[in-house]
């Protein structure tokens, strides 16, 4: 691969990473919306949604981690690319301006954030199910 192909691959992996996060947020919104608008308590449905969501979250996190590792490997290849040959001056000029703007991806931070959001989403599902099962809490009025 030449230098420009490495840069293109880096940004393709960055775009893929962003898409995994976008899909993740959309699925959370769908799950929370579905849970919010359900009227009747249905334990089996809540269990099924929790299991399906946990499976999705596990695979999504794996995809995010893999893509971030690929992006990191490409970043290392960009930084190690030798600036030699007929295009050495061009490579060096691009390198001095571009490479400082290419950030390292915090995989551990992304993992912790993902897991925290997963736990909160599942907790929300179960809290809404519990709330549907205790009608006195949802219809009780606070006396002032």
Q: What is the pLDDT of residue 30?
A: 96
Q: Looking at residue 141, what is its pLDDT?
A: 57
pLDDT, tens only, 57-67: 999 999 999 99
Q: What is the pTM of this model?
A: 0.83
Name the one residue in this structure whose structure tokens are 């390292």: 104
Low-confidence ranges of the chain (pLDDT < 50): none
């Amino acid at each position: 691969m030449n230098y420009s192909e490495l840069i293109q691959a880096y940004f393709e992996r960055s775009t893929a990473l962003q898409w995994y996060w976008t899909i993740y947020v959309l699925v959370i919104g769908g799950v929370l919306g579905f849970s919010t608008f359900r009227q009747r308590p249905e334990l089996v449905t809540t269990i099924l949604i929790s299991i399906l969501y946990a499976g999705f979250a596990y695979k999504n996190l794996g995809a995010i981690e893999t893509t971030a590792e690929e992006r990191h490997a490409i970043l290392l290849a960009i930084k190690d690319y030798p600036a030699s040959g007929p295009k050495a001056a061009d490579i060096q000029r691009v390198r001095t301006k571009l490479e400082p703007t290419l950030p390292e991806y915090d995989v551990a931070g992304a993992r912790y954030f993902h897991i925290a959001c997963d736990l909160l989403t599942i907790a929300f599902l179960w809290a809404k199910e519990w709330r549907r099962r205790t009608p006195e809490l949802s219809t009780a009025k606070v006396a002032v």
